[in-house]
Amino acid sequence: MDQSHQRAATTRPDLDQAMSCGLPNTFPSAVFIADAQGMIAYASDAFIAQLGASRTDVLGKTLFDFLVATPDSPAAAALLGDHSVVDMPADLQRRDGSTCSVLLCADHWRDPDGQQYRLIQVTDQTAINQAQKDLTLAKLQLECCLESSKAGTWEWNVQTNEIRIDDRWAASLGYSVKDLEPLSRDTLLHLAHPDDIHLLCLGHDHQALNDKASADVEVRMRHRDGHDVWVRHRGHVISRTPDQKPEWLFGTHILIDHEKKAHQALQARYSILERVSNLSGVGAWEVDIKTQQVFWSQETKRIHGVSERYEPTIEEGINFYAPEARPIISAAVENGMTTGQSWDLELPFIRKSGQRIWVRAFGAVEFKDGEPDRIIGAFQEITEKVHDRNELIAAKEWTAYAAAKGRVGLWSLDTVLGELNWDSQMTSHFGFAPGSEPKTVSDWLKSLSIDSRRQLKVAVRNSMFSGTDLDLELTLQTSSGQHKVLKVVGAPHLDQEDTVDRLQGACFDLTEHRQMMARLEEQASKLSVTLSSIGDGVITADDMGRVTWMNPEAEKITGRTAQEVEGMQSVDLLRIVDEKTRDPIPCPIEDCLKQRSVVILAPNAVLLRPDDTEIAIDDSVAPLLDSEDRIIGAVMVFRDSSTQRGLSRDIAFRANHDSLTGLLNREAFLRQLEACLADPVKQNGSYLFFIDLDHFKRINDSIGHEAGDAVLACIADVLRESVDETAAVSRLGGDEFSILLRAKTQERAEAIGKDICRRATEGSCLKRSMDISINTGTSIGIVSLANQHVTAAEALKMADIAAYAAKNNGRGQICVWSDLDSNMQAMSRQTSLINLIEDATRDGSWIVQEQCIQRVDAIGDSNTFAELLIRLPDGNGGMIAPSDFLPAAERYGLMQEIDLWMCNHALDRIAATLQTGAAKLYSVNISASSVSSGRFRRSVLDLLGAAPEQVRKLLCFEVTETAILTNYDGCRQFLANLRTLGASVAIDDFGAGSTSFRHFQHLPADYLKIDGSFIQNMNNPIEAASIQCFLRMAEVANFQTIAEHVEDEGQIAALAALKVDFLQGFALGRPE
């Protein structure tokens, strides 16, 4: 095979394939086989499809039936000749008459019989030719664009560093391409300004094009003449390597030096205008009416209080004006749009910060082709100008008003003509009738006394010839005989030659002022006497802080005399320190003079006297100001507050301590416990003790409350002596105490608890205080607070349960809380009653029963009086008796909530019975813990005060004698307040205590309920005598009596005989 055939074989794989195998119709390429005369013997499906014909249309036809060529043409000779043909262009005619451009390749081919043919491959070139035309057109268009924009082009192969530029690129810098050869990246970078090299994609940072495909920057480049010119340099990645790195970059290079320098000049002029605008405080603005775009200068934005980046709208611009000004500016703009009239307005304005200011807004509408095109204007803040103008107007008005209301006369003298002018007030001051006032100085002088005449004459002469001001007081007697003191002031006015041409001044009537000064002197004398006799110390000082005077009480407090301290610096007299910290406290007089305001002394101040004794003081110091608001001194008023401060400390102590024992009260202790539980560091090593006295009720009942109080005070001493000063010891209430202490080990905490039990059982408490020996003891529950995630109330509950376990174990001992102790868990489960109580209070699901109380003389009438009895639902349809749940409620402090709920319920029930016409008197029980609580008492009084009067009159409160005695004064006042509001009061369980007779006469009550134990044993002569005694006491105190626990007819008869007023018990009716 010759060389041309070899080339055809290597460039026509489809033809080679056809030559090496049979020729199926589905041969993929467009090929056909013709004999030496051009007759087609074979055609592939692709070739037939290319012609748009069928197989029968093609086979047996000659090549020249489809080829746009004649048999005798050179193309025909080449195709049917002996040599291979490669990529011969030709036109092929399709069956529908259209033609398409093709490339023909031809070579020899023999069939199996050795017959020789020509194998011809046809490649359609239509799309390729069209693409070439489009590319040619695009190149022409690009060239036109580059020519019109005078843009040069550049190309750079990032991988090989090959650089290409065109003539326009070189010409923009004054070179030709040849001048710059040989071209390299360094050649072009050398022309760039050093500060701009980093911006060029030809620069060292060209690797950034890995992340972006284009660049568009403005840079400076060195012109051949030696000056820098500005060019716009654009670049774009047009090809990448297989690993996606930039390969060829193509870009444009446009000279923008003229535009850049024009822009810079414009910017410079704009900057100058902006600076001028900022200096003058005048901002510019513009509105393009068609685009609605708004331009504000920097000064305009500053006046509005917005940032330089703020882009306003027309609506936003209008809304900056105050609401009352928006209609005005809107009307001005609309008028300008219609008539072309400009505007110049002063309007209130609101900056973005909300600050109200005044602005002057100028504006005008520019027209184009008879239509509004844009609005331009200026903007200036004039707040100070407006304020000054308003103040000037106000000053003028005030001067006129003051002259009239202040009775100031005005006068002037023309020194050239000798004419004297007075206003009406001057005429009145000098006692002239209107119209008869003097016209010359001589006439004026005639109206004065000899002395006053001389004074005025000299003053006028000196002012005219020496230029001095007039300031003199004249005395005269008017025609009515009134004596007056007039102050005349004036000043000369100079003409252009510095000659006095006019005197002008004013006149004030000082008569009343002189009289007032006389009265003030008299009052000052009286005030001095008063200050000398009051119980507060008073010290006055001058503006330098030097003492000028002090009264006798101040002498007593400071330990110095007035003569001794006169002229002394107040800081040397008043040596004051903080009572607690002993830190010096600044002198209040000096502080007052510095601050020009009232100064109050610190609350814990004490004054150190010369003999080193201390006096607790409180004071206030006020500045003394003259008529021009200048400091002329200070006055200090202070007192000896030693007694008051002691009382305050006592009140503070009482607020946090139990009045009987001096220990912390429950509230103060809980605050310390909560603080400990909130700090894990404090929790670790802290222990909580709950101490409950054994058999304490027995002491109260058998010996009396005075003995019980003595035991409580003694136990408090034992607890204080058993722990160190860091422990918090509290009386929680009643006979319950608590301790919060730190111990290194639990064994040490247990040892402290055992020591307390031992000391409490020594029996010396009552013997020491009342010379009575009685054994008592303590049961103590101990809880380690380490790692306990509980509230203060929960911690106390745990300690309470442990103390209860100690009681169950035999009393007089300790018990340590343990989560794993089965007995402790059982006791804890007993607190489930508390959950039922809380649920019933929250949900209002308590069960309330009534038990009738009947008059002895109306047995059988159960509709006039009844006691309300509360029952706890057990959750299963049953009830829990009060004897089961009330101890738990008392133990865990829930009685106040229960009692308050019961009061609410009683008021609601009474109101309901009033509506149904079945009203009766209802009584409710109040527990000892509730009645001793100030908060509970206030809540009940608030409830009762909010109820209608007719409801209040049908409610009776039952309070046990023991409950009253736990807080006698507070409870007695509470009961009195209840009765004042219309409710009634019954003393319940009367006779059960031993101190009833002593307090009985002072109890504010309506009913006396005799304790049921007396009724049950009334056959006993002593008990019967006690009942008769109670009845006699009630009769004297005007109480009605109620006998409880009446269970049979015999008791009814016996009590009726004793003249008891009311009966209550199963014999008359069970609770229902």
Residue range 808-828, pLDDT digits in tens: 788 889 998 875 555 566 556
Same domain (yes/no): 825, 968: no
Q: How many domains does the chain have?
A: 7
Mean pLDDT within 83-106: 87
Per-residue pLDDT for 57 more than 90?
no
Residue that terminates a domain, selected from 336, 358, 387:
387
pLDDT one-digit tens code per residue, 919-951: 889 999 998 888 888 888 999 999 999 999 999
Q: Which two tokens stand for residue 264?
A: 């810079």
> Which residue's structure tokens are 């007032």?
516
Per-residue pLDDT for 335 more than 90?
yes
Per-residue pLDDT for 512 more than 60?
yes
Tell me whether residue 623 is in a domain: yes
Taking residue 622's Cβ as centre, other Cβ atoms within 10 Å add up to 13
CA distance 637 to 616: 14
Mean pLDDT within 63-84: 80
DSSP reduced 3-state for 704: coil
We report the CATH number of the domain holding residue 445 as 3.30.450.20
DSSP string, 84-143: -EEEEEEEEE-TTS-EEEEEEEEEEEE-TT--EEEEEEEEE-HHHHHHHHHHHHHHHHHH
Same domain (yes/no): 305, 378: yes
Per-residue pLDDT for 208 more than 60?
no
Tell me whether residue 88 is in a domain: yes
Residue that terminates a domain, selected from 783, 799, 829:
829
Burial (CB < 10 A; 0-12, 13-18, 19+), residue 291, is exposed
Taking residue 548's Cβ as centre, other Cβ atoms within 10 Å add up to 16
Q: What are phi and psi of 681, to 5 degrees?
A: -65, -45
- For the chain, give the percent of residues with pLDDT over 90: 21
CA distance 280 to 286: 19
Q: Which two tokens stand for residue 692?
A: 């409950």
Tell me whether residue 392 is in a domain: no
Same domain (yes/no): 799, 675: yes
CA triplet 106, 112, 115: central angle to 5 degrees?
A: 60
Contacts of 276 (CB under 8 A, 6+ apart): none
Residue 20 is predicted with a pLDDT of: 42
- Label residue 546 by pLDDT band (50, 70, 90): very high
Residue 491 is predicted with a pLDDT of: 92
Cis amide linkage into residue 182, ω under 30° from 0 = yes
Same domain (yes/no): 500, 573: no
Residue 13 is predicted with a pLDDT of: 40
- Label residue 112 by pLDDT band (50, 70, 90): confident
Residue 547 is predicted with a pLDDT of: 92
Residue 932 is predicted with a pLDDT of: 81
Q: Which two tokens stand for residue 222?
A: 């060195």
Tell me whether residue 1044 is in a domain: yes
pLDDT one-digit tens code per residue, 214-231: 778 888 999 999 899 999
Mean pLDDT within 1026-1035: 85
Residue 222 is predicted with a pLDDT of: 92
Residue that terminates a domain, selected from 589, 618, 646:
646
pLDDT one-digit tens code per residue, 874-899: 878 888 888 778 877 876 778 888 99
Residue 341 is predicted with a pLDDT of: 92
- Label residue 10 by pLDDT band (50, 70, 90): very low
pLDDT one-digit tens code per residue, 372-385: 999 988 888 888 88
Lowest mean pLDDT among 651-655, 724-728, 1025-1029: 651-655
Distance of alpha carbon 907 from its chain centroid, rounded? 43
Same domain (yes/no): 251, 281: no
Per-residue pLDDT for 862 more than 90?
no
Per the structure, the complete domain to which residue 565 belongs is given by: 534-646
Mean pLDDT within 317-335: 92
- Label residue 526 by pLDDT band (50, 70, 90): low
CA distance 724 to 740: 11
DSSP string, 203-268: STTGGGGGT-SEEEEEEEEE-TTS-EEEEEEEEEE--B-TTS-B-EEEEEEEE-HHHHHHHHHHHH
Same domain (yes/no): 285, 356: yes
Mean pLDDT within 313-319: 90
Same domain (yes/no): 498, 422: yes
Per-residue pLDDT for 207 more than 60?
no
- R_g over Cα of the chain: 59
pLDDT one-digit tens code per residue, 677-686: 999 888 898 9
Residue 273 is predicted with a pLDDT of: 59
Residue 819 is predicted with a pLDDT of: 58
CA distance 616 to 645: 8
Same domain (yes/no): 481, 592: no
Residue 1007 is predicted with a pLDDT of: 92
Residue 824 is predicted with a pLDDT of: 61
Tell me whether residue 520 is in a domain: no
Tell me whether residue 357 is in a domain: yes
Same domain (yes/no): 99, 24: yes
Same domain (yes/no): 977, 904: yes
Mean pLDDT within 305-314: 90
Name residue 516's amino acid. M
Tell me whether residue 521 is in a domain: no
Residue 258 is predicted with a pLDDT of: 83
Of residues 554, 594, 545, 601, the one with CA closest to residue 577: 601
Same domain (yes/no): 825, 845: no
Mean pLDDT of the chain: 83
Tell me whether residue 1072 is in a domain: no
Is the separation of the CB atoms in 587 and 570 below 8 Å? yes
Same domain (yes/no): 963, 815: no
We report the CATH number of the domain holding residue 712 as 3.30.70.270
Is the separation of the CB atoms in 697 and 776 below 8 Å? no
Lowest mean pLDDT among 148-152, 777-781, 992-996: 992-996
